[in-house]
Structure 1
């Protein structure tokens, strides 16, 4: 999907500069709203066939109906590994682009169907399993949406207990899950390169984009602050989707991280951005990968076969 053309400079780049994606297929998780919908809409307008991978088929169908282009809707609940496997098992065609966009943010403490802390389980483990199960079909790249808040919380992966029992906070859990997205991308690219694959793994973050994601924050004061921020500081969801689209379509190196070029990376045109030292640590990335395999029962996508469904379930 990458194009080596006289593309506009990143500072002026927007969705109208996407290459012709006719004949390409893209899966976008969480495509029914926010930056996921904006990305799916732009990809479809550029000619791609876009699969809306969503929890709620009715909402997904309504969203897809608003898009001018080729779409379909499939059910995917990233907080349920059985649903992830069902989605992947039903996939029977080449896949050019997988956009791991869906996520939850700063929720009250709760668990996935498999017993994992909800933010880590949904934002990281669900996408980890989905990517590895679909990887034999992927022809171009995997783009995973992280956040500038990967630097927040404690700034680490709590390998002793990723479920944060007894020390949960919405911010700590969210930051850990977004850090995990970057470490996952780093190790995925290492493995792809080692396997001699041309598939690339990249990450992006939207900056501060006004979406409904913030409305689920556990802290009422935080929700009020986010309402204010959405109105006066944030960019809209179409602008927030630009780093994802840039990572999905431009000729960038594997493991690249794209975000807005403005002050504090909160808004602006897409460009390559930095990440925390921990997010760049290859040893932490390998350790997280091994733990994620153990928890999900899903192994490296180019390996022989995944372990039986239900492996890694916690109480």
Structure 2
């Protein structure tokens, strides 16, 4: 597993860069385009614009999702005392990455990022920074391979102590037949009481016609296939856990920091829950 785990290490700069297919759109790069980043190609911009044609607020929604991630991490580190984070489906580095938010509140926080996309791996070293007291690592693994994720993350995280399992904007990339609920169950079964689950997920029951057309346009253009779900379906991912107030709400409604965040529309359900 060590060869799939990258840490802050100058020698890692000698590692070969993964091959990236620039002829097919990739959600990490499309998301980067919506966020105003620079790590995307013409094919990604084309797909991004297809979505913006029918839902111009997508840019605001992805920002609301990113703001939710930061608020959730800050809450867990500063209020709940969580010092370990397993961030699955990392995406490209952006502002307010998990380790930056967590270590700002708790310098000793330890973070493992997990993704299996070549574009993310190519930029992983940007995530491999850390406070002196904490640790940050990147694991090349597929969300469906929970055994590999848990084994690799154990090199950095202590699974006898609480862990925040973060599945932010990733479960909607799993079809029902891929058993996303089972994946969540296996991950949460591996962490002790006092651990937390953080989820955000594209909604099928908000702006229903627009979201259905968004799903169609994304799925016809990308190898990744999206399955949007209702609030009730997203809530089921938290079965057996104790939801933190205000429960499962739209991203911009979860413990917003001010009027600006409250007014930024989101089309993803989001929630945080504790393992009792």
Which TM-score band applies after superposition, normalised by the shorter structure?
Answer: 0.3 to 0.5
TM-score (norm 2): 0.46
TM-score (norm 1): 0.41
